[in-house]
A = this chain, B = another copy of it.
Amino acid sequence: MKKQIRILGIDDSPFTFNDKYCTVIGAVMRGGEYLECILSDRIAIDGSESTHICKKMIQNTKYREQLKVIMLDGVALGGFNIVNIHELYESTNLPIITITRDKPDFDKIKLALQKNFNDWEERWRILKRGEMHTIKTHHNPIYVKCVGIAIESAKEIINLSTIRGVIPEPIRVAHIIASGITRGESYGKA
């Protein structure tokens, strides 16, 4: 695997209950080392267009042809605006890797979906699709899904793009920017 492989990492900004929208940041990096481009858009909190927004980001960037893989901080942006990673893979022909630091509590998520959405079954179906892998690290484990790429290759890409801690730079950088521009100073971990 080339160390300078081009990766787009996507994360959303923090939001409050009063917000209707939040910002989505895409960070195009060469491996884990060099930031080449920042993309931004907004999505509706708990809306249904996050797959479309990610697709648009990927298709419109001048780095489209160089991108080799997409990384998402989990499978949802803006609350429960679930990204259909299978659809995203099929329409862009780029492997998708989702990474989370915290193990999702699926019982809690299902209850929240049932409580708040008429189309909860559809959201639940999209969110649950695909195997969740637990990947050991020298810190805590991370939880990974991948589409269009074998888990062994996904691990290799995660490793080559992680500098400190356990989160690959494209997601970490997207997170820092999304929180920094929203709150005045970035905080927390992707």
- Chain A residues in the interface with B (C-beta under 8 A): 23, 25, 33-41, 60-62, 163-164, 173, 176-177, 179-181, 184-186
Query: Taking chain A's interface residues, is the majority helix, strand, or loop, or is none over half, making it mixed?
Result: mixed
Q: CB-nearest residue of chain B relative to A184?
A: B40
Q: CB-nearest residue of chain B relative to A63?
A: B185
Partner of A37, one of B38, B41, B180: B180
Complex Cα gap A133–B34 (Å): 28
**Given A62-B185, A181-B23, A185-B62: A176 and B40 interface contact (C-beta under 8 Å):** no
Interface-centre pick from A36, A39, A61 (highest chain B CB count, 10 A): A39
State whether A40 touches B180 (Cβ < 8 A): yes
Complex Cα gap A48–B173 (Å): 31
**Inter-chain contacts of A163 with B (CB < 8 A):** 34
